[in-house]
Amino acid sequence: MQIGMRQVSSETIEWFGTACNGGGLSRTALAHEFCERENWTNRVGKLCLASARKLLPALAENLGVRLPEAEALEFDPHARPASDFPDRSVSCPLRDLGALSLELVTAPEDRRRWEAMIESWHPEGWRRPPGGQVRYWVRSEHDGVLGGIGFTAAGIQLGPRDGVIGWSADARVANIAKVVCNHRFLLLPGVRVKGLASRVLRLAAGRIADDWAAAYGERPVLVQSFTGPGQSGLSYRAAGWKCCPELTSGRRSGVRRAVWLRPLVAGWHQVLCAGPERVLGWSGSLYCAGGWAAREYGRSTHPDGRVRRRIALMGAAWINRLGEHLPSIFPGRAEQTAAYRLLSNDAVTMEHILDSHFEQTVERCGAERLVLAVQDTTTLNYDDLSQTSGLDDLGGGGTGTSGILAHFGVAVNAVGRPLGMYTVDTDFRQDAAKDSVRWVDGLDRAQELARACPDSRVVTVCDREGDFWELIARAEQTGAPLLVRASRGTQRRVALASGGDANLWDHVLGTEPVGGRRIEVPACGGPNRRKARTAKLTLRCTPVELLAPKDRGDEPPIRMIAVSAREEDPPRRPALPASKTGKTKTQPLHWMLLTTEGEGDLDTACTVLHWYELRWRIERFFHALKVGTRIEDRRLDEADDLKKCLAFDAITAFRVWDLSLLARERPEDPANRHVTEDDIRALCALASHHGFKVPRGPPEMTIAGFVVLTGGLAGFHPSKRQPLPGTQKLWEGVKFLSHAVIAIQAKEEWDRKN
């Protein structure tokens, strides 16, 4: 469960519900154990008790439990200090003060005296700020204490400062701890020494980074401060501070103030603007009392809670109205306006929408012994959107076709069940010099998935478009399992034992076959269209030493296992009208597969061939994405807005695709394990209305029965030849079903209100 930006594990949720209902623990004790269970500590290892106390009421409200009553304190720990700090009179040149120093305030009694000084003489008085604090006495060699200066944690949002830094919302949340605020600076009223204030500010800027890092484990790179009306800020300017061009809004205090900034290190801007590097598996297991949409969208990392809630609501609406245009998905004026605002919000990215789905993918992969990380690229054609900016050039060669290039990584298990997406990249361009980058990045992302699932073996699978030396070299360098189909265009060469080299294809075909295998070849459209058929393949398998391309210099050879799967006698097909022979041979299959796994034997050949067969699942995913969600029918003004639609559509396509395969591979699973009770009730009502045979419990409806009845809403009737509907029929049936669910829920809500 996500509370604010904090993810709470399922185990902690279970403990918390029991602890609240059982009683016996105070709020402080609950916060203490909560921090220990979640390993919630700051950078110096102390429990974040104050943050936990703030989180617990929201957590209790979400779970529907009651917290223990807050205990009344016998004293106020944040009471304002007594105003009894004496002033002193000092008037002399700066040099007559002797050595000037900043003395760290550490002892509790000294902290109270420092607070009393600020309360007595500072125009703003003393108010305890949230977060960490570092305080100094301003002390001279001859005259003792002349004043004080204090620093605290900076606020998360400050318009003038954020405009100067130019960081994103994600970077601000990740790096706000590297900014501190000079919230109080006082020289006693009787101290009249020219140049003293700027000197103190310089001294403070020189040591605050070290002292703050020692206290809180984070080294700041920027310090901020404020000046109010009637204050020129001359001392800050003389000490090297810069004033932001805009004032604060003054919404809270009623006073608009100038904001001053002082960098503490070179390169501070790059440090603060660096976005968070969030790896797969960052959130742990998720407790979620909601349905599928709540799980797939419940862990967004956007820092704004309103945006996180809107993403979850939009995701649920997207699955309820499959393949509809945006106005149909969001028919209400308010929800439609909110949806368009989110899609056009520059502070919201595809990653914010996909983050939660990626984490669900990690959870599903963690239960599998073998995970195939299949990656491939697809194109989305938006050539008719002439007014949409930011689209990619899809055609190449100056044809002018515009659209979006999207590189997907999809995880499937050993029998081909989809487990979810683990990467989506739409920020690359078709550039021959950089075409390998997305494939190498996909391999690195698959390794993140492997580290997040230590009990699973993750193998990256690529088609021949991914046959790049950079990809093979990265797999060799990192030890990542890899399977890639070789492309004839790369003209791979292998080192021979005799000292020469040979063409990869010729060398492997010159070895003895290790066996044969029959596979089912699916139908394919397009220029290379073919019918579905059974192909008999001859298998060869041998270790090879791949030579680096000539442009890679003297890089050493890389050992791989080469598997050749060749169709020796393809069936004949009817010839084209221009042919005189009547029939022509079907283009024979010949796959040359390179892998880092196994040995040169029949078992390896069969295993690798099976893995490559499962690569076809990503093509079925692309079909569901384009035909089912109608992603290419979206109409928006910016390519970035279309990419956010792509994120929602991709998760929706995965949902329907997964249901289709679940019915084939786990037909006896109870339907309520994968769909909601509302879906089942609505389906039974519709099926009964149409005269379908509806199973009556017990036993409960299975997922296979659910899929068959759902396909029946679109006209599917099971037979021995085709017992289950295809993706297209299932997609149409789910659309009818989702409309019925909405209607039933709306009627029940109406009945409750009236």
The answer for residues whose C-beta is within 8 angstroms of residue 562's C-beta and 6 or more apart is: 486, 494, 504, 508, 540, 541, 542, 543, 544, 592, 593, 594
From residue 396, alpha-carbon distances to 25, 404, 432, 488, 514 in Å are: 67, 13, 11, 21, 42
Same fold, 90-273 and 666-753: no
3-state DSSP percent of the chain in helix, strand and coil, to 5: 40, 20, 40
Q: What stretches of 323-438 adopt beta strand conformation (E)?
A: 370-381, 392-393, 402-413, 418-425
Report the range of poorest mean pLDDT among 119-128, 376-385, 726-735.
726-735
CB atoms within 10 A of CB 114: 23
What token pair was written down for 168? 């994103």
Work out the average pLDDT over 705-728: 86
> What is residue 577's predicted lDDT score, i.e. its pLDDT?
52
Integer Cα distance of 106 and 658 in angstroms: 60
Integer Cα distance of 315 and 329 in angstroms: 10
Q: How confident is the model at residue 284 (pLDDT cuts 50, 70, 90)?
A: low
**pLDDT at 52 > cutoff 90:** no
Residue from 48, 202, 82 nearest 136 by CA: 202
**pLDDT at 435 > cutoff 80:** no
The 10s digit of each residue's pLDDT in 380-413 is 999 888 888 888 887 755 556 888 999 999 999 9
Taking the alpha carbons at both ends of the chain, their separation in whole angstroms is: 34
How far from the centroid of its chain's Cα atoms is residue 566's Cα?
Answer: 41
90-273 CATH choice from 3.40.630.30, 3.30.420.40, 3.30.70.890, 1.10.340.30 = 3.40.630.30
Place of tokens 């929706």: 652
Q: How confident is the model at residue 430 (pLDDT cuts 50, 70, 90)?
A: low
Work out the average pLDDT over 660-671: 83
Q: How confident is the model at residue 353 (pLDDT cuts 50, 70, 90)?
A: very high
Work out the average pLDDT over 466-493: 93
What token pair was written down for 603? 């078992």
**pLDDT at 432 > cutoff 80:** no
Q: What is the dihedral of CA 115, 137, 111, 133, to 10 degrees?
A: 90
How far from the centroid of its chain's Cα atoms is residue 92's Cα?
Answer: 60
666-753 CATH choice from 1.10.10.60, 1.10.740.10, 1.10.150.120, 1.10.486.10 = 1.10.740.10
Residue from 660, 280, 623, 654 nearest 456 by CA: 280
Integer Cα distance of 187 and 599 in angstroms: 78
Asked if residue 666 lies in contact with residue 703, where contact means CB atoms within 8 angstroms, the answer is yes
Place of tokens 């390993």: 39
CATH 3.90.350.10 fits 486-597, yes or no: yes
**pLDDT at 464 > cutoff 80:** yes
Alpha helix locations (H) across 157-227?
Answer: 159-165, 169-175, 196-216
Residue from 684, 672, 615, 627 nearest 652 by CA: 627
**pLDDT at 582 > cutoff 60:** no
The rounded percent of the chain whose pLDDT value lies above 70 is: 92
**pLDDT at 235 > cutoff 70:** yes
Q: Where are the domains of the chain?
A: 2-63, 90-273, 486-597, 666-753
Q: How confident is the model at residue 303 (pLDDT cuts 50, 70, 90)?
A: confident
